[in-house]
Amino acid sequence: MNQTRSRENPGPSLKPLGVLVTLLMVALLVGIGGWLVMRGGSRGGSGSTVTDPIASARGASGREIRGGSESGANPGGESGGARGVAPDLDLVPPEPAPALPPPGTYAPRDGVVDIELSSYAGYAGLIAANGGLEPSESSFFAKRHNFKVRIRLSEEEGWSRLQTGELGASATTADVLAVFGRQFGAVAPVQIAYSRGADAIVVASDVRRINDLKGRTLVTVQHTEAEFFIRFLAQESGTAVNSLDSIESPPRPEAINLVFAADGEAAGAAFAADLAAGAGRLAGAVSWEPTPSDVARSSGGKARILATNRNLLIIADVLVVNRGFAESNPGMVAGLVEGVLEGNRMMREEFEAHLPIVAGAMGWDASKARAEMAKVHFSNLPENEAFFSGAIDMAGSFGGIYQSSVLAYGPGVIPSPVGPERFMDTSHLAAARAGGRFSGQKISIGPIRTEGRSQLESDPLLSRDIRFFFDPNSSNLDLGVASNIEDLAGIRRLLQVSPGSFVLLRGHVDDARVGDFRKQGGESLVRKKALEAMELSTRRAAEIRRLLVEMHGVDPGRIETVGRGWEEPAGRESDQNRRVEVQWHTLE
C-alpha cells in the first residue's frame, strides 16, 4: 500500500540525465522569457492555474500546475545576483488529513491473509518469509502457523481498503498513526524496520543548518515520512512550520514554509527547475532517495544534501493490521508477527541466500536490491521490545516518534490527538519471547560511519537556544522548575534517536550591565567582568552536561561544552541572553 510513502517511486527515478534534461528545458524557457521581456512583455503577478486530468498520487484531487511570479519577497534567492524568470512548478495544494470510511472487519478466504505493501526494501523480510509474493505451502507462515499470505505491491493509496476490511494488513511509519488518530481501525503489533538513508533533504548551497531555512520555502510530499522528517527537525530547532496554499503565497518570515508536490520525484524536479532558473522561491526539497542525491549531484554545486536519516532513526515502519481481524484471529496475527521477525532474521543473517527472491519480487537486479537494502535496519525481537517499551537507545521509540508527530504537526493537522497506546499490541511479541525462537538475539543498532569527517559532521544539523533557569549569578540549575527538567529530557532525546551524534552546549550570559561596568570602572572593569561572565557561562554549560550524564545516563563523550560569556547576544532582552545554546551534530 502506498499511502504516498513508498521510497521507491512508481515511475523512473530522477536520474542525472533526467535532471540534465529538466535543466536544459528550464534554460530554454528562461531564454524565451528574457526575449519577451526585452520586447516589453511581462509575466502575470499571480500566475495561472491549470487543472491536470491526471489524478495526483495522494488521492482524488487533480494535480495542479501553478504559475510563478517575479514579484514578492525573495528570502531564498541567491545572494548577490538578480532573480531569474520563475518557472512553472508542478505542485499540488495542501489537503487536510485524509478522512477514512467506517471500519470493517477483514475475513481471510481459504486460509489466505492479504497484505498490501509498497516497493520498499524494508519489507524484504516479509517477502523472504513468504518465499515471494504469492501464497505458498513452503512459506514460513504455512509451515509453522497453517495459513498462507498473499502480498500485493502497490503504489496506490490503500488506507480505505485496510480500514473497510478488504485487506488484512499493510505497513506504514509510526508518525502516520498519530495523523489518522482514533478514526483508524488498526493495530501495530510489530516493528518492521528503521529507514537508514532512504529519506533526505536537499537544499541550496548557502543553507548550512535547519535554522537557515527560517523564512524560506521547501517542497515536499504531504502526509508522508518526508513531511514528518522536516517537521521533526524544525520542531527540535524551535522553528515553526507553515503550509502555503501555493508557491505565490507569501512565506512567513519566522517559519519554515512548505509547498507540496504529488510525489517525491516531482518535489525534486520542482526544486531543480527553480534552482536552474535562479528564481529563488524554493530553498530545497524533502524527498526519498535517489531523488535528493540526484538533484544535488546535477546542480553544478548549487545544491547540497543537508541531512539524511542514515543516522537519524525516526522513520520506523510498523505492520498495521485491521483491528477487527486482529481481534477475531489472534493466532493469525501472532503468525504474522513471528513471520516478520523470522523474515528479518533471514535478511540479517542469510542475506545472499534470500536476495534473489526479494529482488525478483521487487523487479530489481541484485545490485539495486543490495543498494536499497543497505538503507534499512531490519528490527529483531529485542529491538522490537525496546521500541515499544521506550527503552530503545540509539533510535526512536514508538511512543517517542508518535508523540513527536503530534507535536510536529500541531492542532492544525491533529486537533484531537489520541495516545500511542491505542495502536500498540505487544502481546504477540511477548508470545514470541516465550517461544524461545529468537532467544539469542541482541539489540545491535549503532552509527553508520563513512571514512573521514564529512561536512555534515563539522556543521551542526540544527541549533536551539534553551532558557535554563539557574540560581542568580550561579551555575546551580533550579530542578524545581518544570521546564528545566523537560529541556534536559529534550536534549537526551536528540542523542537517543541519532546514533553517533553529539551535542555542543554553548553557555551564554546576559550583557545588559556592560554599560554600567564601563561607567563604573572603564574598560579594565569591563574586561574583568567579561572574564567572570565567560567563567560563569562555562560552568553553566558544564552543569547541564553533568545533569545529562547523571540523570539521563548520557555518554559524557557525546557532550561538548564551551562558555561564550556575553560575546554572542541573541537579542536586546535579558532573558534572550541567559541561555544555553544546543548545537546538534549528526554523522553522515
Q: Is the CB of residue 380 less than 8 Å from the CB of residue 348?
A: yes
pLDDT the model gives residue 114: 98
Q: Which contiguous run of DSSP H or E holds residue 151?
A: strand 148-153
Last residue of a domain, one of 308, 326, 343: 308
Same domain, 580 and 464: yes
Strand partners, 376: 195
Last residue of a domain, one of 308, 335, 367: 308
pLDDT the model gives residue 576: 67
Boundaries of domain holding 259: 16-95+199-308
Rounded CA-CA distance 44/273 in Å is 19
Task: Please tell me whether residue 308 adopts helix, strand or coil conformation.
Answer: strand
Q: At what angle do helices 225-236 and 398-409 cross, to 10 degrees?
A: 80
Q: At what angle do helices 330-349 and 351-362 cross, to 10 degrees?
A: 110
CATH code of residue 217: 3.40.190.10
Closest CA to 507 of 543, 472, 537, 473: 537
Residue 134 lies in a domain: yes
Instruction: Tell how far CA 502 is from the center of its chain.
Output: 19
pLDDT the model gives residue 57: 29
Into how many domains does the chain fold? 3
Quote the DSSP letter at residue 370: H
Same domain, 389 and 529: no
φ/ψ (deg, to 5) at 487: -70, -35
Same domain, 158 and 303: no
Q: How many CB atoms lie within 10 A of CB 356?
A: 11
φ/ψ (deg, to 5) at 213: -85, -5
Residue written as grid cell 544534501: 305
Closest CA to 506 of 491, 526, 525, 489: 491
Alpha helix segments (H runs only) across 51-152: 124-130, 140-145
CATH code of residue 523: 3.30.1330.60
Rounded CA-CA distance 273/65 in Å is 13
Q: Is the CB of residue 14 less than 8 Å from the CB of residue 265?
A: yes
Rounded CA-CA distance 73/564 in Å is 35
φ/ψ (deg, to 5) at 367: -65, -45
Bridge pairing between strands 462-466 and 199-204 = unpaired
Largest Cα–Cα distance of the chain, in whole Å?
A: 91
Closest CA to 199 of 317, 119, 286, 138: 286
Residue 122 lies in a domain: yes
Same domain, 138 and 222: no
Same domain, 321 and 424: yes
Rounded CA-CA distance 242/584 in Å is 23
Same domain, 465 and 329: no
Q: Is the CB of residue 292 less than 8 Å from the CB of residue 305?
A: yes
Same domain, 127 and 256: no
pLDDT the model gives residue 572: 72
Same domain, 472 and 428: no
Residue 532 lies in a domain: yes
Same domain, 472 and 335: no
Rounded CA-CA distance 587/585 in Å is 7
Residue 441 lies in a domain: no
Same domain, 175 and 298: no
Q: Is the CB of residue 226 less than 8 Å from the CB of residue 200?
A: no
Strand partners, 288: 199
Residue 6 lies in a domain: no
Closest CA to 400 of 316, 320, 485, 504: 316
In order of 38, 148, 182, the CA distances from 108 in angstroms are 68, 10, 24
Rounded CA-CA distance 92/223 in Å is 13
Quote the DSSP letter at residue 47: -
Q: How many CB atoms lie within 10 A of CB 431?
A: 14
Rounded CA-CA distance 453/17 in Å is 30
Q: What is the pTM of this model?
A: 0.79
Residue written as grid cell 536528540: 494
Rounded CA-CA distance 4/11 in Å is 13
Task: Please tell me whether residue 516 adopts helix, strand or coil conformation.
Answer: helix
Q: Is the CB of residue 584 less than 8 Å from the CB of residue 491?
A: no
Instruction: For the chain, 588 residues long, give each residue's pLDDT as a single digit of tens.
Output: 544 444 444 333 444 444 444 444 444 444 434 433 333 332 223 233 222 222 222 232 222 222 233 223 333 344 334 456 678 999 999 998 889 999 999 999 999 999 999 999 999 999 999 999 999 999 999 999 999 999 999 988 788 999 999 999 999 999 999 999 999 999 999 999 999 999 999 999 999 999 999 999 999 999 999 999 999 999 999 999 999 999 999 999 999 999 999 999 999 999 999 999 999 999 999 999 999 999 999 999 999 999 999 999 999 999 999 999 999 999 999 999 999 999 999 999 999 999 999 999 999 999 999 999 999 999 999 999 999 999 988 889 999 999 999 999 999 899 999 999 999 999 999 999 999 999 999 999 988 765 544 443 467 998 888 888 888 788 999 899 999 999 999 999 989 999 888 999 998 887 777 888 889 989 888 888 888 888 988 999 999 999 999 999 999 999 999 998 888 777 777 666 778 889 999 886
Residue 263 corresponds to which cell in the numbers above?
510525489
Q: Which contiguous run of DSSP H or E holds residue 281?
A: none
Last residue of a domain, one of 405, 435, 465: 435
pLDDT the model gives residue 571: 72
pLDDT the model gives residue 403: 95
Rounded CA-CA distance 489/547 in Å is 10
Task: Please tell me whether residue 189 adopts helix, strand or coil conformation.
Answer: strand
Q: Is the CB of residue 209 less than 8 Å from the CB of residue 463?
A: yes
Same domain, 300 and 205: yes
Same domain, 154 and 241: no
Q: How many residues does the chain have?
A: 588
Closest CA to 384 of 189, 247, 544: 189
Q: Is the CB of residue 468 less than 8 Å from the CB of residue 552?
A: no
